[in-house]
Structure formats: structure tokens, C-alpha cells
Chain A
Amino acid sequence: MTETKLMKGNEALAEAAILAGCDAYFGYPITPQSEVLEYLAREMPVRGGVVLQAESEVASINMVYGAAGAGFRAMTSSSSPGISLMQECISYMAGAELPCLVVNVNRAGPGLGTIQPGQGDYFQSVKGGGHGDYKLIVLAPSSVQEMADHVFLGFDLADKYRNPVLLLSDGAIGQMMEKVQFHAYQPPRVDKSSWATIGKPKTRSRNYITSLFIQPEQMEQHNQKLEAKFRLMRENEVRFEEMNTTDAEYLFVAYGLSARICQKAMDISRAKGIKVGLLRPITLFPYPSKRLAELAPQLKLVLSVELNSGQMVEDVRLAVNGKVPVEFYGRMGGMMPTPESIAEHLETLIKYHHDN
């Protein structure tokens, strides 16, 4: 059964959480994502599930830790400053191998910044954020539909790898209204009995959740176990979307909202005969580096377009490893580049690289 609705991104995400069998949501208000908490505070008590407004984002994510440690599907959502507060516990969850879904509706910063959309949390999301060696699977929706779809996917991946999954959206996608469809979904059966703390029967040894390995040998072993898991993610979970790459000589790389703007910019440039394509990473970790490397030989120039001062561009450069020049274009602070300005920038760069 498929239903089509007109919804705000944040609300689509909240509805998806209920349909995905989220057992518990813990959150704290912050613009531009408070609709998630509001929606769930209204719906979850009626439709089943625990919803609780915590005293802070620190408390929210630690409540998620407790619920996830007891084997339940748990999630929280926030926006940039709140996500910063959660980093310690996210690191603990990765260390203790607890699945959960964390949603960041990115606003522009640093500091209190603005409530306008931004992509300044790219580094925080994919390069660690918290302390220690760990990775999160990072999903980057670029439409209201994906705000919903990535919730189902996110929970499933979290369970599959026993690792937190981060859904990295932004203020525009969280706030915009679009059509969205919800498909029938059955959460996969996951046996958590070997580790979830639900009370120890006489028939098994105790389960305990910990990220503490005080002996260096054991700590390294645990790190290696986690690394093996992150390797598996790199092998199996890369997701991206490609447009007009078959004949492309130039390539936009952009995720989320920037990718939508780039799509328009691509149309403008193509109309002028410039053969530009678009690669939109859907997972920011693992990153579609392999695909970028494959495309590199046919390209004359890659342009990473972001709503920040140039963060993902570093991963694009790593991926193509010097085979093709990589440039950056972006706006900050909640300012949006127009498709025209991106197309124009591409033309300027083409000319510059041709002349030099």
C-alpha cells in the first residue's frame, strides 16, 4: 500500500520513524528541526512508542544509548549546536557498538550561527566529530522523499552494522514541503539477544554494554574489529546518484540541497553546450571515491559545490588523486548560490584552466 502525502521534510522524517518501528525518540528543541519532536510528541503516544523531551541534547543521546543498549530501535534529532553536544556519546555508541539513528538538520555556523541551512557540518559528520577512531554511516537526503526513505535505510544499516547512522540533512530540506510516498515496510528481524541488556536469565552469561578496554592489547583488538566493520561499510554501502556523466567533460559533485541547485546549473550549462554531469553522493561515509576515480580520466575539471567554505572538496581531491583539477564553489551562512552563479563559475574556471 502506497500513500502520497504533501509534507514538510522534518515531518516526513518523523512519520517515517514511526513506520520504521522506532521504539523510542528522545530530543530537545532546536530550529530548524523542532517539528520532529513536535510531530512525534503528538503521534507516538497514540501510535505506540516512547517519546521524551530531554533536558539537553547530552541527555537525549544518552537516553538513546540506554534504549539502544536494551535492544530497542532508538533515535534522536537535532541541529548543528545540539549535534556538537552529542559527540561524546556518539563516540561511546560507536565504541560500544550500539545501533541508533541520529538526525542532523544542519544549520549554518560556527557557534550559534544562524537557523538558515548550511553544510558546514560535513567534516564533523564524516571525519569523526567525537573522539577516537570510529565512523558513522552518513546519509545525505536531497528531497523530502529521501528524508523519509533514509530513516528506514538508516535504521536497517544501524542494525546491520551495530553502529550509529547519521542522517545529515539541512534546514532547507527539513523545512520544505514536497510530495512523499510511504511504502509498506517490515523491519528486518534482528537477534539482539547476545548483547542487549534486558535482564540476565540463568541460562546465559550476563550482557554488558561498554566501550572501555583498559588493556592496550584489548583496545587495539577492539579497534581492529571496528575497522573491519568500517571496511565492510566501504565495500557494501556506497550510494550515489549520477546524471549526464556518460559524455561529461566536467563534473559537479554536490550532496543534499547543493545537488538540487547543481541540477539546475547543469541544465543551464548544457544548454550552452558545456558537457557537464553531476555526481551526488548519497552516502557521505562511505564516500563514492571509487566512482569518482573511475570518472576522472574522462574529465577536464571537477567542481565541488557546497554550502560551506569547502569541506567535501578535500574528499573529492583524495578520490581523484591528482588525475583531474578539482575546484570548489560555495556560499556560507545560509546564503544560497543560484544555479546561474554556479554555471557562470564553471565557465570562468573552464576558461582559466584552458588558458593556464
Chain B
Amino acid sequence: MTIEERSNIDIIQEKDNNIIGEPYETVYQKPGTLIDVDMHYCPGCYHSLVHKLLMEIIEEMDIQEQTIGVAPVGCSVFAYDYMDIDMQQAAHGRAAAVATGIKRLLPDKYVFTYQGDGDLAAIGIAETIHAINRGENILIVFINNAVYGMTSGQMAPTTLTGMQTTTSPAGRDTNIHGHPIKISELVAPLPGAFYVTRQAVNNANGVRRTKKALQNAFNYQRLKKGTCLVEIVGNCPSNWKMTPIECTGFVEEQMMKTFPVGDIKLPKAEDLKNLKEA
């Protein structure tokens, strides 16, 4: 950079500094529970968005001191670098068992897991189903991006039929690889499942609904009536080889065909009667 160029920058900064004094109203900011550091997530990845929603809820409900999170292996294994709450990193797939261990000892705390689809639906499906079947009073946040993000785009049990991945280069062939597994539909019939919903964050309405679902799940945890599972249709711009904008379309047009959004199991009205007092 030439001296001339540098002095130009100084001039611009000086101008900016003058503006700062003027009265602007803060209309939006990160929640205080989200640590203010650069995230390692790829640009446009929904992991960062969902992190923010979770931390907003924890701040709004003022439950930072009562909440313990569990992040197993997947792109979100570093969640504890961003979430300003006590957390445990778990082995790949074992979040529901780890959360069980925490919640059984600390029954009055809020305990949630944050798991990818490879983690929850492949290697950890036994822990997931059994935790739900026992009705562990935990929240499972399930980020389903239909691919193994962290290991660079291999086929997941949720990979869409025909979808190309590095381990299904010709597209997922159901004769060879089986069909994409629908975890929410699979676990909803279990009596231990209290609230099961699938949401998406590919547009503003979806983000609002997802936040509401997560809020509900945190509130329901006080009732100690069973497991809440909030599945969120994720994305993976890097391994889908799409721009973030293209991803929003793919979620809408492709992902939602196999993973339609909406509530899959709602609590019974009588179970919610005591929610205020709880």
C-alpha cells in the first residue's frame, strides 16, 4: 500500500469517527450469551444461525446459569467456543448418553444436545432412541444437513435419494444405500418423546418458527415429561457445492420434500396445564 493510499484510508476513518457521535438507536445485536469471536463455520452455514437462536433464548429466559450444553463431534464440536454456558464436548454420536449422565445428576437444570445428522442418525442412533425411549428430560437439537460436513461431504443416513456426495458419487442409490432416514417421524411414536418438530431456517419466517420451537422445548423441559427433539433442516454450502443463496432454494425445493417442516408430535393440552407454575 502506498503512503498516498494509506492516508486516504485515514481520511475515511476520520469521517466515520465523526459519525459515531450521532444518536443511533440499537435495533439489533448479538445476545450477550454468544461469545464475540470469529466463528469457524463456513460463510452461510446455518450452524452459526442456530447457535445465535439458542443463545438468544438462553439470554431472554435468563437461564445461562441453569443450562448445560453437549456438543458431540461434527462441525459444531467447537460450540463451546461460541456459547457462553457450561458445556461438554462428547464423543461422536454419544451426546444423548452424555446428556443423560448430566441430567440424571442435575435434574433441575436445562440440558440440551446439539447434534448433526451423521452424529445422531448414524453412529449415535442407539443412544438417541434409547434416551428418548427413557423419556430423558433433555432437548435434542438436531441439525440435519443431509451430509457429513466436518469430514468433507460424505453420504449421511439422511442424504437425499439421488444426491451426490463424495461417497455416493453417482448419487444415493436406495438399492445400495437405503433410504434417507426420517428421525423425527421415527422417534415421535415413542411414549418418551414429548415434543417433536421439524423446522427450517432458510427464510425469515422459518427462523422465527424455529426460535419459537426451541423456546417451547426449553419451557417444556421444566415439566419433566419427556424428551423434546427439534430437528432443523440444515445446509452445507461447502459440501453441497452451492452458494448460500442456492442453499436456501435447495432446502425449500429438495430437502423439504423428504423432510417436510411442521410439528410431528405436540404435547397434550393437559400436560401443558402446569407450564406456568413449573
Contact = CB atoms under 8 A, between A and B. Distances in A.
Interface stretch (A60-68, A105-113, A168-176): A60-68
Size category of the binding interface on chain B:
20 to 34
B102 interface: yes
A21 to B, nearest CB: 13
Nearest to B67: A199
Interface in B112-132: 126-127, 130
A52 B87 contact: no
Interface in B67-107: 67-68, 70, 77-78, 80, 83-91, 94, 97-106
Contacts of A62: 90-91, 94, 97-98, 101, 127
Interface in A211-229: 211-212
Contacts of B104: 24, 50, 52, 63, 67
A127 B107 CA distance: 37
A167 interface: no
Contact of B89 (A26, A88, A206, A211): A211
Nearest to A207: B86
Given A23-B105, A62-B127, A88-B91, A197 B86 contact: yes
Interface string A52-76: 1011101110111111111010100
A68 B101 CA distance: 8
B130 A55 contact: yes
Contacts of A212: 77-78, 89
B105 A206 contact: no
A58 B89 contact: no
B65 interface: yes
Given A62-B127, A70-B106, A88-B91, A52 B100 contact: yes
Contacts, number: 129
Interface residues of A, number: 39
Contacts of A210: 80, 88-89
B101 A74 contact: yes
Interface string A4-24: 000000000000000000011
Contacts of B126: 55-56, 58-59
B105 A50 contact: yes
Contact of A208 (B80, B94, B109): B80
A232 interface: no
A318 interface: no
Contacts of B103: 66
A319 interface: no
B89 A70 contact: no
Contact of B87 (A24, A67, A88, A197): A197
Contacts of B66: 199
B48 interface: no
A69 B68 CA distance: 11
A23 B104 CA distance: 10
Nearest to B99: A66
A209 B97 contact: no
Most buried by B among A88, A92, A206: A206
A65 to B, nearest CB: 5
A207 B89 CA distance: 11
Contacts of A89: 91, 94
B64 interface: yes
Contact of B109 (A50, A72, A198, A207): A198
Given A59-B126, A89-B91, A64 B85 contact: no
A199 B68 contact: yes
A202 B64 CA distance: 8
Most buried by A among B65, B78, B80, B89: B89
A58 B65 contact: no
A60 B101 CA distance: 9
Contacts of B86: 197-200, 206-208
Interface of A: 23-24, 26, 50, 52, 54-56, 58-60, 62-70, 72, 74, 88-89, 92, 96, 197-202, 206-212
The 4 closest A-B pairs by CB, nearest first: A66-B101, A62-B97, A197-B86, A63-B101
21 contacts: A23-B105, A50-B104, A54-B130, A62-B90, A62-B91, A62-B98, A63-B97, A63-B100, A67-B102, A69-B88, A92-B91, A197-B88, A197-B102, A199-B64, A199-B65, A200-B85, A201-B65, A206-B83, A206-B87, A208-B88, A208-B89
Given A56-B126, A208-B87, 6 more contacts: A52-B104, A67-B102, A199-B85, A200-B84, A200-B86, A210-B89
